[in-house]
């Protein structure tokens, strides 16, 4: 379906076919006389979108700075064709730039979000269940990563495959550990924040019911991913401590979470970073992304500097 048809379904009038402002998914900015809007895909089917919206509206009611669907005459969100779309307000502000204060505030925001999670999955968000990796997948992915790295003359640690095999072997332990779960956007990255000057979450659409330390691991690994104004590497040790300073104002992690943290970090690398490095070839053409990948691989084989204490 053409983007213009999707946009007109929400009652907006446009003359030209719009171009997505995000290369990996349809996201359209619609300019108005006084306000701008964002139209994008959200959770599907519609029943899932309804549960997700209930979750984000609850966060907003608790004082969390997060976008929620615009009140309008047309249904919002709405299923159009084979996908469900939502209209959000466009949030004016500045992007993250790696300043210490920005990092602390980001930690505070995620801490608040986790602190307002119900104990049970009351909003019916999709539970995290990705515990089915195998060694063959790892070997295939590592081979593709090696080709990309060689093409661009990037050195990666020889222990990478060994660490990923280790992550595969630990899956059942993590699955059965009874980790604390939270309702969370589960895509808490710098490119999804706009500072106004406080950080405002502008893309909560990946929300799910996720082990709390998996959500933290995703932050450590990919907070700086795909944002030109962010550093081309993961958090430094001191930056990670700054993030946790903000986060720990609202959350007290359990002893078990701290114990299993290194294994959780390896698992989230397996789930979220391995495919990114293996399958998103265009990222390897970007020097900043190449350096980020190189630093992520180094972090995986030596996580000691990134404790939860």
Residue 147: what pLDDT? 98
User: Residue 13: is its pLDDT beyond 90?
Assistant: no
User: Residue 53: is its pLDDT beyond 80?
Assistant: yes
Class of CATH domain 100-301: alpha beta
Residue 1: what pLDDT? 73
3-state secondary structure the chain: CCHHHHHHHCCCCCCCCCCCCCCCCCEEEEECCCCEEEEEECCCCHHHHHHHHHHHHHHHHCCCCECCCCCCCCCCCEEECCEEEEEEECCCCECCCCCHHHHHHHHHHHHHHHHCCCCCCCCCCCECCCCCCCHHHHHHHHHHHHHHHHHCCCCCCCCHHHHHHHHHHCHHHHHCCCCCEEEECCCCCHHHEEECCCEEECCCCCCEEEEHHHHHHHHHHHCCCCCCCCCCCCCCHHHHHHHHHHHCCCCCCCHHHHHHHHHHHHHHHHHHHHHHHHHCHHHHHCHHHHHHHHHHHHHHHCCCCCCCC
Q: Spell out the domain ranges in the chain.
A: 3-89, 100-301
| Domain 3-89: assigned CATH number | 3.30.200.20
Fold match between 3-89 and 100-301?
no
Residue 16: what pLDDT? 84
């Amino acid at each position: 379906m053409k983007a213009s048809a999707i946009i007109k379904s929400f009652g907006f009038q446009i003359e030209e076919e719009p171009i997505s402002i995000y290369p990996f998914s349809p996201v359209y900015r619609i300019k108005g006389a006084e306000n701008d809007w964002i139209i994008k895909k959200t959770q599907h089917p519609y029943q899932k979108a309804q549960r997700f919206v209930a979750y984000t509206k609850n966060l907003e009611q608790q004082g969390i700075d997060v976008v929620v669907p615009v009140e309008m005459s047309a249904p919002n969100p709405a299923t159009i064709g084979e996908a469900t779309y939502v209209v959000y307000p466009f949030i004016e502000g500045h992007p993250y730039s790696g300043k210490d204060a920005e990092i602390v505030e980001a930690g505070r925001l995620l801490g608040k979000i986790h602190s307002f999670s119900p104990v049970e999955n009351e909003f019916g968000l999709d539970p995290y269940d990705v515990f089915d990796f195998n060694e063959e997948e790892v070997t295939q992915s590592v081979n593709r990563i090696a080709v990309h790295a060689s093409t661009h003359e990037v050195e990666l640690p020889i222990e990478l495959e060994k660490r990923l095999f280790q992550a595969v072997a630990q899956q059942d332990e993590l699955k059965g550990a009874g980790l604390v779960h939270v309702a969370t956007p589960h895509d808490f990255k710098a490119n999804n924040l706009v500072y106004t000057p406080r950080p405002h979450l502008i893309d909560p659409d990946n929300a799910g019911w996720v082990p709390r330390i998996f959500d933290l691991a995703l932050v450590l690994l990919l907070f700086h991913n795909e944002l030109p104004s962010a550093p081309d590497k993961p958090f430094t040790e001191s930056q990670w401590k700054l993030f946790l300073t903000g986060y720990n104002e609202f959350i007290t992690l359990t002893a078990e979470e701290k114990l299993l943290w290194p294994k959780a970090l390896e698992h989230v690398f397996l789930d979220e970073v391995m495919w990114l490095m293996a399958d998103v070839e265009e990222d390897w053409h970007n020097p900043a992304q190449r350096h980020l990948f190189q630093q992520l691989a180094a972090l995986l084989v030596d996580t000691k500097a990134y404790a939860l204490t």
